[in-house]
């Protein structure tokens, strides 16, 4: 009898312990669910919502139609390419400073220039003027390989680190004078310049594949500039003016070219 009572008490005690453990787990889980999300998670949700609004308000509503471009713009976190103090302005349609006298272009211009390249997904693209790395990040979702050249070493290193940290494994960053392009990786299916020049740099034209497109701002610094798309047709330039823009000028050899 004592053996039976002892065994029964053991079973009851074990069941009670299991029940208590389950009750404690449920209470802990309910308590956790009732707590507000960490501040960083809330901020990221707010940024994601602002990014979606930006795509609808400043891109789709202004004529950007390529769904792949719109998708990339909705995906890439522009705020992570800016200093903390500027992140609250990341999804306004305006350029913002990134240091060294340079800027990150406004989202509409980034989307427009990207759409003009008419990328399908298997291209090799050259970007001149890496800056923050944001444009290269957008391109990385739309083409196979992105090669980007930045003349300012501090910006190049910062962009390289940032792009690597964010997982853009198909982007290669080089410190150098963009006027000369990246000859070792040529030819390119598309070339995009994020700084203005008075004419298409000849080395870049030579590195553009036949039937390829080059998109760039043309014009003098601090004067009227035009965003143009130049296609290579039988080795000749077929240029199309798109809209008026204002970009910082190319530096390096571009400034020394005879006019």
- The DSSP symbol for 178 reads G
Residue the block writes with tokens 């509409």? 108
Q: What is the pLDDT of residues 178-235, one digit of tens each?
A: 999 999 999 999 999 999 999 999 999 999 999 999 999 999 877 789 999 999 999 9
Q: What is the pLDDT of residues 128-155, one digit of tens each?
A: 999 999 999 999 999 999 999 999 999 9
Ordered domains of the chain (ranges, CATH)? 93-256 (3.40.50.150)
Q: Would you list the DSSP string of 209-225?
A: EEEEEEEEEES-TTS-E
Residue the block writes with tokens 């989202």? 107
Query: What average pLDDT is seen over the chain?
Result: 88
* Catalytic residue IDs: 105
3-state helix, strand, coil in the chain (%, to 5): 45, 25, 30
């Amino acid at each position: 009898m004592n053996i039976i009572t002892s065994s029964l008490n053991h079973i009851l005690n074990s069941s009670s312990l299991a029940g208590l453990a389950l009750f404690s787990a449920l209470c802990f889980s309910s308590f956790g669910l009732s707590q507000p999300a960490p501040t960083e998670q809330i901020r990221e949700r707010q940024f994601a919502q602002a990014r979606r609004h930006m795509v609808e308000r400043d891109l789709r509503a202004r004529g950007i139609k390529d769904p792949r471009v719109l998708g990339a713009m909705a995906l890439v976190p522009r705020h992570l390419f800016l200093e903390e103090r500027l992140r609250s302005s990341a999804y306004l349609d305006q350029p913002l400073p990134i240091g060294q006298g340079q800027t990150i272009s406004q989202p509409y211009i980034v989307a427009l220039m990207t759409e003009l390249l008419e990328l399908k997904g298997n291209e090799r693209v050259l970007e001149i003027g890496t800056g923050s790395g944001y444009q290269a990040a957008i391109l990385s979702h739309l083409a196979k390989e992105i090669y980007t050249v930045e003349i300012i070493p501090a910006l190049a290193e910062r962009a390289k680190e940032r792009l690597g940290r964010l997982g853009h494994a198909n982007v290669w960053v080089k410190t150098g004078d963009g006027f000369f392009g990246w000859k070792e990786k040529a030819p390119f299916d598309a070339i995009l310049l994020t700084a203005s020049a008075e004419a298409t740099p000849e080395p870049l034209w030579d590195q553009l594949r036949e039937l390829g497109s080059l998109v760039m701002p043309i014009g003098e610094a601090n004067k009227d500039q035009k965003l143009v798309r130049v296609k290579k047709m039988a080795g000749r330039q077929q240029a199309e003016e798109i809209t008026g823009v204002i970009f910082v000028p190319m530096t390096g050899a571009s400034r020394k070219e005879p006019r």
